[in-house]
Amino acid sequence: MIAPFALPFMARALAEAVLLGALAGVVGVFVLLRRLAFVAEALSHAVFPGVVVGYLAAGAGGVGYGALAAAALATVLLTLRARLSEDTALAVLMGAFFAVGVILVSRRPSYTADLTTFLFGRILTVDAADLARTAVLAGVALGTLALLGKELLLAAFDRPAAAALGYRTAALDAVLNVLVAVVVVAAVQAVGTVLSVGLLVVPAAAARLLTDRLALLIAVSAGSAALAGWLGLALAWTASVDHGVPLAAGGTIVAVLVAWYAAARLLTLAVR
């Protein structure tokens, strides 16, 4: 379970997976408490055209910036959603953005291969620059949470109280949406647009089954997500190299997390 990571590309993949897992695990707790899972899902699809444009304009290095621009545009449009319910606005936005991305990518000769790469990521080919970008995004996100975590929690549990204390709850909502977008952008290259939602949603949901205490919730969520990054990569490697079954690394990481959630769910059902 350790030997594969002696290879440089596997070591980089491991660093990326652990970093992303810890980041998404922490932000995921806030996603869970504010019920933003659908926002995370919609944003993960909405960044897709940005990923494609970034890639067409500047190659692999442009993907992150394109995703960031698309996430920003989607977040702005979401706040201007007129009289649509948030649920409907998210569904429409997600479909429209994704459709634009597919139309752009369908113009390329290597259409289906490109599409699946964008959707499912390529964690085994992250380079030092990708890692540095992820580390910066993680620093920004975790720094923001360290500064505003208490206010965000107050708004999550008791919105009227937060408003009565003079906090601007709409601004706090916007901060959290931006944080979700940051995690999605960081995760896009590694696990692809469709699996990034898994990192944001599953570890926090599993941790919530096991504990009510916030500090423990954050620790279990981040720890299990980072651990799943290592376990998923090791599993994918073993299956591919030792058993000739090529497993997608990103998908395997999320599958490990889902198995962990299932175990936690069974445990809570058995205890009750």
Considering the complex, what minimum distance in angstroms separates the CB of residue 226 from another protein? 17
Considering the complex, what minimum distance in angstroms separates the CB of residue 240 from another protein? 9
What phi-psi label fits residue 223: left (phi over 0), alpha (psi between -120 and 50 degrees) or beta?
alpha
Classify residue 241 by its DSSP letter.
Answer: I
CA atoms of 255 and 188, how far apart (whole Å): 17
DSSP one-letter string for 71-110: HHHHHHHHHT-TTS-HHHHHHHHHHHHHHHHHHHHTTSTT
- Considering beta carbons, is residue 32 or 162 the nearer one to another protein? 32
- Considering beta carbons, is residue 86 or 158 the nearer one to another protein? 86
Considering the complex, what minimum distance in angstroms separates the CB of residue 171 from another protein? 25
In the complex, the residues that contact another protein under the rule CB under 8 A are 37-38, 40-41, 45, 82-85, 87-88, 90-92, 94-96, 98-100, 102-103, 106, 111-113, 115-116, 119-120, 194-195, 197-198, 201-202, 205-206, 239, 245-248, 250-252, 254-255, 257-258, 261, 265
Considering the complex, what minimum distance in angstroms separates the CB of residue 40 from another protein? 7
CA atoms of 187 and 27, how far apart (whole Å): 13
CA atoms of 128 and 12, how far apart (whole Å): 7
- Considering beta carbons, is residue 133 or 232 the nearer one to another protein? 232
- Considering beta carbons, is residue 162 or 248 the nearer one to another protein? 248
Tell me the longest C-alpha to C-alpha distance in the chain: 61
